Each structure stands twice: as C-alpha cells, then as structure tokens.
Structure 1
Amino acid sequence: MANPDTTHRQQQQQQQRNRRSKPRPKPRARVPLTQLLKVASVAGGIQFGWALQLSLLTPYVQQLGIPHAWASIIWLCGPLSGLFVQPLVGHMSDRCTNRFGRRRPFIVSGALFIIVSVLIIGHAADLGWRFGDTKTHRPAAVAFFVFGFWILDVANNVTQGPCRALLGDLTGKDDRRTRVANAYFSLFMAIGNILGYATGSYSGWYKVFPFTLTPACNVSCANLKSAFFLDIIFIVITTYISTVSAHEVPLNSSGAHPVEEGAGESGSAEEAFLWEMFGTFKYFSKPIWIILSVTALTWIGWFPFLLFDTDWMGREIYGGEPNEGPNYDIGVRMGALGLVLNSVVLGITSLLMERLCRNRGAGFVWGVSNILMAVCFVAMLVVTYVANYIGYVGKHLPPTSIVIASLMIFTILGFPLAITYSVPYALISTHIQPLGLGQGLSMGILNLAIVFPQMVVSLGSGPWDQLFGGGNSPAFAVAAVAALISGLIAVLAIPRSGGQRPRSQV
C-alpha cells in the first residue's frame, strides 16, 4: 500500500510542475503613440468651445446688462457642476458595462449636450426677444443664457473626466506614457485654444453667416453665434476621431475586464461612491495631499485670469466699457489675439513636456512655471498702473508699447498654462493608482481641488473688484500671491521621483 504522505507529496510536486508548464499571461501590449494622439484629439474640440467661452462670454454677459461685479457669479455654475458631476461621472464610467466601452458613451453624450448648450447661448438674445425683451432690458435673454451656460458647464464636466481617464486606461502603469498621453491632451487643448481664440478675435463672422444678424442680435452677438456654429462642426469631427480610435473593450457585469490584465482595478472595494468619496481621503499619502494643495492654489491663480483676461484688455488697457463705444470691443478682440499667442506657446511647451519633466522632475517644472505665472500677474498690475499714469485711458487708444507689453504677458503665460493642463493629471494618476481607485474617480478627485478655488474666485472676485473701484486688479493681485505660494510648495515638497522615467523604461 502506498504511503499517504508520499502520495500527497507527489501530488504537490505534480501541481507545481503543472503551474510551471502553464503559459504565463502575456503582458498588455503598449498602445501606439499614434493611437494616443488620435484619442487625445477630442480635447481640441472641447477646448475650442472653452476658448470661445473664456474670451467672449464675460464681455457678452455684460452686454446683456449684467453688471461687472456680478459677471463672475455667472461662472459659479462651472465649479458647482464640477463638484458633483465629474466625480459621479468618473465613478460611473469606471463601472460602466456598456457594449461601446466605459468612457466613450460619456464622451459622446457630453459632446451632444455641448452642442445643445452653445445653440441656446448663441440664440439667447433671439429667444429673449420672442419673450418680450427690448434692446435695453433683456431679462429673458439673460435667463436663456444662464440656462445654456449651466448646461455647457455640466456637459464639459461630463466629457473631460472620461477623456482623461480613457488615456489613463490606455497607458496603464507606464508612467512615461502617462505623461506623454497628458502632453498630447495638452497639445490638442492648445490647438483648440488657437482656433477658438482666433475665431473670437475675428469680427467678420456675421458676414460669413449673415442670417445670424437679427434685430435682437447685433454684430457682436452675431459673431458669437457664428463662432459657436464653427464650434459644433469642430467638436463633431474630433469626437468621432477620438471615439473611433479608442478601441475600448467592454467590462463585464462584475466590473472586471474580460481580456485585459489589470483592468479590473476600477472595480476594487477601495473605490467609493460619490457620497463615500471623502472617506477615501484617509488613504491618501502625503505626496497626494501636496499635489492637491498645489493644484488648488494654482487654480486660485489661474481662474481670475481666465475669467477676466479679455475684459482686462477691454477695460484697463483700451479704456472701454460694454455697450459704450468701440474701444471695449476692440480691446476684447485684441485680448483674444493675445490668447492665440498664449496657445501657440502652450502647444510648443506640450511637445517638450515629457523631456522637461524627465530631466528636471515634474514637481520642479510645475513649481517654476507657477512662479513665472506669479511674475506675469504682477506685470499685469504694473501695466495697468502705467496705463493709468500715462492718462490716455478713456480718451484715446493705447500706445503701441502698452499693447505690446500686454500681448507679451499673455504669450508668456502659455508656458505655465501648458504645465497646469498636463503635469497635475499625470502626477495624480501615478500616485493614486496603487490605492485601487479607477482612473475616472481619480480625475474627479483632482477636479475637487480645481472647483473649490473656482467657487471662491467666482463668489469673491466681482464684489472684491467693485469694492476697490470696479477694475480687475485686486483679483490679479490675489492670483499672483496664490501662484507664488503654489510654486514654492511644488519646488520644495513634490518628490523628484514623480517626474523621472521608471528604471524599467530606460
């Protein structure tokens, strides 16, 4: 009779031999860079609309009759929707089992809502006219504008998180490719900015689309409406290219990927739903908290500029007021031209992003760019002071030297803006992945560090500026201080390893 111990030992040895002979699963194939480039192209369509929104809508709001002190309140809908919508959409996309994939259904749905919203915004004056508005009293037009604007911001938040998360899905744990993918995303944001700001700076679109000029919609309004028609065309093209190129494989009902190794991370028990999301904060490491803090301070710096850049050019540099002569409109278009130059630098920087971060470290690059941002905001205050000291404001067009100085500031700010659009997302994706959170929810968590500062600026900048004379200088002063502090923290506290290439990738 065979010894039971010997038999058991033989069975164990046979099992070990079977495990050794069993073929190991093949590692995930690296996604080609050309595919990442195509998938990231949707950022161009989204940012084209953002560029129109940032350059034209603050002046347009004031032309509808909303005072400057309350113009920033209109923008509060963006961070409020981002506070709830993006984390929720990120979580839902992590768990989505739709046959078209996890991210693509949300990207397409968001793009459709963007199209609906810009049609409402562009036709707000016409819709208001049908409800009894006059040229001097437009409450219905304001209501339609605010309604469309809220839909636009919700749609942007529905789209952007899954776009970033999709790139994170495709790059996996490859830190270098994660940075490259986010750099591509930043590059297409630059392309969208260039086209959008260039569109906003041209004053003759109403001649291309003559039907946009109506009794309720003057030339400025018709140009805005025409620009949004171009936005619709562009976002349809880029959304199609991105979603067709993604090649997502659906998740099964348990949240695990049927074929790709490691894709089930988004279904981890560590992942929390919206109302439990704050409970995940206790798992965050110190570097994650530093990244979130620097992000928050960075956006306290950026949001006043993005909100009031063309308004600053129209008011402080060209000395105009909405609906009072041509100077304000000329200044707004010149500000849009400055944002075109800004976007060119943004695009060039995006191409160099991976090399900059690899050589110097992502935290160091981020910090230096934020310090440069602070210097630029201080320069805007200096230019404003010089313009008032010369005494032309309200009387003549600005001297060429003042215009050139203003455009140079806009241009230089393209470098730190490219860093802001790329580095924080790559860092948070790298540091939060070991926690088992899905890419969608991680983008939503980073978005919290963006929306809270935006809410503070939206609530405070308009009344604060009005308290100090109605200009934009106080908001820019706060922005300069926040940018400087964030830059110093990034240089001194973010680990150098966040920007280096992993040893296995060399």
Structure 2
Amino acid sequence: MPMQKPALSFWQIWNMCFGFMGIQFGFALQNANVSRIFQTLGADYNNMALLWVAAPITGLIVQPIIGYWSDKTWGRMGRRRPFFLWGALAASLALFIMPNSPTLWIAAGMLWIMDASINVSMEPFRAFVGDMLPRRQRALGYAMQSFFIGVGAVVASALPWMMTNWFDISNVAPSGQVPESVRLAFYAGGAVFFLAVLWTVLSTREYSPDQLAAFEDSQPQGEGALRGSVSRSAGQYNRGGLTWMAIGTILGFVIHQNIERLDKNLYLLAGGLLAFGLAQLVAGWLAARERTANGFSQVINDLFSMPIAMRQLAVVQFFSWFPLFAMWIYTTSAVTSHHYGATDTSSVLYNQGADWVGVLFSVYNGTSILAAILIPLMVKFSNLRITHLFNLALGGLGFISFLYIDDPAWLVLPMVGVGFAWASILSVPYAILSNALPTAKMGVFMGIFNFFIVIPQILAASILGFFVTRIFDGQPVYALVIGGVSMLVAGLMTLRVKIQEV
C-alpha cells in the first residue's frame, strides 16, 4: 500500500523556504543595480539589453541541467541541498566582486557568473516544494517562497538608498567608478545570501529516493501524466531542427541586409532560433543511433512531452516575464531620463533617480509580501484563473502608467500593482504546475518550465532596443509601456489554462 506523504508544520515549511530570502537578495541587487553599474562603466542604454542577455541565456542552459542532475542526486547532503549550498557560495563570491569590476566587459562577465550561480542555487528550491510537501500543502509552500522573495527583495533593492540616507555613505563617485553605497550593498547581500541558504541546508532533511518512490504523490496522477510517453523519432527531430534553422538563417540574412534600419540586438533572436534548431538536430542524431540514455536527450524529449497544463501555462509565463525583463533593463534609464531629466551618470540628479528606482523596486517587492498573504483569500472567493488575471492586469496597467505620471513620487502607486502581479507570477503558476508533474521528474520539468521565463527575456533583449531607439526616439519609458501591454495579454491567456484542483 502506498505511503502518504506527511504534512509538515508551519515552521518546517518556514525553514525549508528560508533560503529563498537569500537567493532573492542576490537577484534584487542584480536587477536593481546592474544597469546602473553598466552605465557607470560606460554602457549606452541602447546596448543595455545586449549586456543583460547573459542572465537569461545562463538560466536557459543551467536550470534544466541542474534540475536533471538534482533529480538523480543522492548523497550525505541529500538530493537538492548540495546545489543550494554550492550555488550560494559561488553567488556570494560573485556579489563581492561585481561592484569592483574595473571595466564594462568584466562587469558583463561577472553578471554571467553571478546569474549562473544564483540559478544553481535557486532551481532546486522549486522542485524542493514538490519533494517535501503533499499536494494539499504545495500552494502554501510556494506562497511561503513568495513571502521570502518579497522580504529579501524589499531590503536588498533599497540597500544603496539605505546606505546613503541612513548611514550617510556617498552615492556619488567619480566618472567610471561605482559609488560606495552600491559596493557596500553588494557586500551585505553576498553575506545574507550565503547565511540564509545555509540555514535551510542545516535545518531541513530530505526524503530519500526510496521514500519518494513509496509516497502516493510521487506517482503521476490524472493531468500529471506526460503527453508523450513515447520518445520522438529521429525524423521528427530532424524535420523540426531543419525548419527552425531555416527560419533563423532567413531572419539573420534579413537583419544583415537591413542592419542600418534595424537593431543589432535582433541577431539574438536569429541566433536563438538557430540554436533551437541545432539542439533538435543533435537530439535526432542521438535518437538515430539509439543513444538517448543521456541528460541532453531526455531534457529535449521532455520538452516535447509536457503535460497540457504546463503547455498552457508556458504561454502565460511568456507574456508575463517579457515585461519583467523590460522593467529590470529599462526602469533606471526610464526614470532618470523621463522623470528626473538626467542622463549623466556622475550627476547628483541621475544618482538620486537611480536610488529612487531602488526604492520603487522595494515597493513592488514589499507589496508582494502582502499580496502573497491575500492571494489565497482571492482564490477562495474566485478561482486561480480570475485571481491571476486580476493581478496581472494590475501590473500591466501599472507599467503603462509610467508614461503618464510626471512626479516620480507617484510612481509608488503603479509599483503596488506590479507587486501584486509579481507575487501572483511567483506562486499561482507553480501551484498549478506542481500538481501536474510526477515528483520523480519534478526538477527537470521545473527547469524546462524556466525556458518560458527565459525565452521572453531573450526576445525582450532582442527587440526592445529596436523599439526604443528606432520607433520611440530613444525614450526608454516606452519599453515599460510595451511590457504593460504584454502583461495584460498574459492575464487573458490565463483563462484558457486547464487547472487540476486539489
């Protein structure tokens, strides 16, 4: 008779999710300050997306690999916890080094390393909830993660502002140098990242593979069964691969022939299509030789074998994360130029605006703490679809309103709406998804689900620069408007997701 996975206490769930606060310290410092560091080191905001693309590409590669490995790992430290710990150590070191980068390209390289390390630590945390909690508690587990994401991001996003206004540390530096307030914020964030993850590693024990196999929830049920239990044939892979490579090649040629009228960042889109086609051709080559017992082949096959609910959620995620990447890239340049009228990174006015962006990021993350508490109540009085639609609509309208608000103090109001959208994005899709997946492959499917977070970010990096420079006359605030429209579309797409109620 299958064993029932026992419910965990509130404090056990607290401990297992506490490390996410440290992970969000790293992400929040990165999201709120890396554009500032890039501009300080001489980057033009027109090229900002190209520099930022390292982060989503890293996640695209790292997360499914780590998910696959963590599904198959078991040792003295458990299944997921080794990845928590070593990723946190590497990310903390990267946070210490990042604000001391002497040149722009070293800073871009550190972003790559930092984001890869954060992803190593973060990806198994999503699967960890599915491992440790019975189905009825998973929504609480993801809500707890959202709570710690909000707490960590609130403090981390405002750290440079706090350093300046609470501790009288200078937020201005000579041209080409990162202000002391930003450097100290990164040092503090690195320490908190490692210590918070260490708390989860030391306070939580994992179920062994044998125990997980014995639990009733470890077996696929209902909608959790995979769409394609039979592997794709070599012919299917080859046809798909050749099609996508042809599309990427044609697009690249069109961009090259019209580069004076287009934007060079569009090459990222063509390159992504070529890479997707090449991956399928490699999978087809391996399938033709019956060499599919490897991580690469299994990840690619699982990509085409997703449950229906996961495929529908992928569309929602795509349109939800496009505006978030637009926000992380362009909010600093949008607020400093549109609301403060400053573009000189060494000026007092520019740095006041950049500090205010950190506060605005704290507002949306702080709001997400409250929203994480309210979302279960919203679901109770409506349902998951309507709740997610409502929250995404708040976020979309918030982004669009940046164009019409003149006083930067009033930007706090739309960031409240963004906070509700953020909390919903971090909890509702995962609550739906975790109940549609077999626990034995929770890690790899969570990693694949990250594709639909990363792909819109790569698309944003590819096309937003073109829209801002060639269509909107170099005004980055319009990147936020485009993001707002995308988020409204995501809300509407939520209505078609098939939900397996628990």
Q: Find 2:432's aligned residue among 400, 415, 427.
A: 427
Aligned to 1:202: 162
Q: CA deviation at 1:205?
A: 8.6
Work out which of the residue numbers 309, 318, 339 in structure 1 matches 2:361: 339
- Partner of residue 241 from structure 1, selected from 195, 199, 221: 199
Shift of 1:109: 0.8
2:335 alignment partner AA: M
Does residue 152 of structure 2 align to residue 187 of structure 1? Answer: no
Give the corresponding residue for 1:97. Answer: 74
Q: Following the alignment from structure 1 to structure 2, what is the Cα–Cα distance between the partners of residues 237 and 207?
A: 23
Q: Give deviations 1:48-95, integer Å, cap 9, x for gaps.
A: 121111111102201100111111111111111111110010010000
Identity of aligned residues (%): 22
What is the CA-CA distance between 1:325 and the residue it aligns to? 2.1
1:34-433 alignment to 2 at 5 Å?
A: 34-125=11-102, 141-172=103-134, 174=135, 176-204=136-164, 218=177, 220-251=178-209, 256-257=210-211, 261=215, 273-383=295-405, 387=406, 402-433=407-438
Give the secondary structure class of the aligned counterpart of 1:247.
coil
- 2:4 matched to which residue of 1? 27
Quote the Cα distance in structure 2 between the aligned partners of 1:371 and 1:206: 35
Q: CA deviation at 1:153?
A: 0.8
Is contact 1:44–1:238 with CA below 8 Å preserved after alignment?
Answer: yes
SS class of match (2:79): coil
User: Is structure 2 residue 477 aligned with structure 1 residue 473?
Assistant: yes
TM-score normalised over the length of structure 1? 0.79
Farther-moved stretch of structure 1 (46-55 vs 282-291): 282-291
1:462 counterpart residue number: 465
CA distance in 1, matches of 2:480, 2:330: 9
Q: Tell me, yes or no, if structure 1 residue 443 matches structure 2 residue 453.
A: no
TM superposition shift of 1:206: 11
Partner amino acid for 1:241? Answer: W
Q: Aligned partners of 2:142, 2:202: CA distance in 1, in Å?
A: 19
1:439-477: CA deviation from partner (whole Å, max 9, x where unpaired): 111211110000000001112222431223222133223
1:428 and 1:446 in contact (8 A); partners too: no
Give the structure 2 partner of residue 494 of structure 1. 497
Distance 1:122 1:331, change over 3 A: same
- Following superposition, the deviation at residue 350 of structure 1 comes to 0.8
2:83 partner amino acid: F
- Pairwise CA RMSD: 2.7
Total equivalences in the alignment: 432
**Aligned CA distance change for structure 1 residues 322 and 30 (closer, same or farther; 3 Å):** same
**1:122 Cα deviation (Å)?**
1.9
Q: What letter matches 1:261 in structure 2? A: F
- CA 1:216 to 1:465, structure 2 compared with 1: closer, same or farther past 3 Å? closer
TM-fit CA distance, 1:32: 1.5
Q: What TM-score, normalized by structure 2, do the two folds share?
A: 0.80
Q: Give deviations 1:416-441, integer Å, cap 9, x for gaps.
A: 110011111121111223xx652111
Task: Give CA-to-partner distance per residue, 1:209-251, whole Å, 9 cap, x none.
Answer: 89x9998974x43222111111122112211211122211444
What amino acid is the match of 1:494?
Answer: V
Letter in 1 for 2:33: L
Measure the CA separation in 2 of the matches of 1:430 and 1:415.
Answer: 23
Deviation digits for residues 269-323 of structure 1, max 9, x if unmatched? Answer: 9698333323224433433211111111111122111222233221211111133
Amino acid paired to 1:152: M
- Equivalent residues of 2:129, 2:138 under 8 A apart: yes
Q: Distance in 2 between matches of 1:329 and 1:258?
A: 52
Q: Is the 8 Å Cα contact of residues 68 and 470 (structure 1) preserved in structure 2?
A: no
| One-letter identity of the residue aligned with 2:309 | P
Alpha-carbon offset, residue 377 of structure 1: 1.9
Closer, same or farther: CA 259–360 of 1 in aligned 2, 3 Å: same
Letter in 1 for 2:484: A
* Stretch deviating more after TM superposition (108-117 or 285-294): 285-294
- Using a 3 Å threshold, how does the CA distance of structure 1 residues 459 and 26 change in structure 2: closer, same or farther? closer
Provide the rounded CA distance (Å) in 2 between the counterparts of 1:405 and 1:161. 35
SS in 1 for 2:450: helix
1:27 Cα offset (Å)? 2.5
Deviation at 1:355, TM superposition (A): 2.7
Give the drift of 1:26: 4.7
Q: CA deviation at 1:162?
A: 0.4
Shift of 1:28: 2.6
Structure 1: which 5+ runs fail to align? Answer: 1-23, 126-140, 388-401
In the alignment, is the contact (CA less than 8 A) between 1:60 and 1:221 conserved in 2? no
1:180 and 1:276 mapped to 2: Cα distance? 31
Using the alignment, how far apart are the partners of 1:213 and 1:370 within structure 2? 36
Distance 2:298 2:345 in 1: 48
Distance 2:358 2:85 in 1: 29
SS of 2:464 mapped into structure 1: helix
Asked if the contact 2:158/2:359 (under 8 Å) is kept, the reply is: yes
User: How many Å separate the matches in 2 of 1:274 and 1:453?
Assistant: 22
User: Aligned partners of 1:171 and 1:26: how far apart in 2?
Assistant: 13
Compared CA separation, residues 209 and 381, structure 1 to 2 (3 A): closer
Q: 1:94 to 1:246 in 2, by over 3 A?
A: same
**Distance in 1 (alpha carbons) for counterparts of 2:218 and 2:130:** 14
SS state at 2:341 partner:
coil
- Is residue 85–residue 157 contact of structure 1 (8 Å, CA) maintained in 2? yes
The answer to whether the aligner puts 1:482 opposite 2:444 as a matched pair is no
